[in-house]
Amino acid sequence: MKKLLSLLLSLSMLASMAVIPAKAEETVMPLNASRIDSEKLPSGNLIYLGTASANVKEEDAVYSFPIYREGDLSEEASVTIHSLDLTAIYGEDYIILDDNAEKTGDGVSILERYATAETDTDETSDNISE
């Protein structure tokens, strides 16, 4: 009985010492992107992807690409992205994350513009209350 108990304690000590590697923090790898020269753009408002095509390695990685908006930025616009499964299947091989901000015509992200507006509003309200 003592030998069995001793063996179980030894095994439990060995099992508790096992180091399980933690998953490394994912780094976002930007895909090659290019902005179209303003002289080459058609007149009017448009939204376009900064990457026309990409070849990516099959690994656990996060890839990003910008969405550019040109023209009149004073009005609201929205973007809907659809993917077409060829050799990879959505949900199994890849997912689309939309938690990053897309770029506006002047290169300032929508989140940066919102944060600036919030800061300006806070400073204005502080000055008014004084």
- Between the CA of residue 5 and those of 1, 9, 11, 122, what are the distances in Å? 6, 6, 10, 67
Query: What is the model's pLDDT at position 13?
Result: 65
CB 44 within 8 A of CB 9: no
Query: What is the model's pLDDT at position 20?
Result: 55
* Structure token pair of residue 79: 């973007």
Extended strands (E) in the chain: 28-30, 46-49, 62-64, 67-70
Query: What is the model's pLDDT at position 55?
Result: 78
Per domain, the residue ranges of the chain are: 26-129
Helix (H, G, I), strand (E, B) or coil at 122: helix
- Mean pLDDT in order along the chain per 10 residues (130 residues): 72 60 66 82 80 76 81 79 78 73 54 55 43
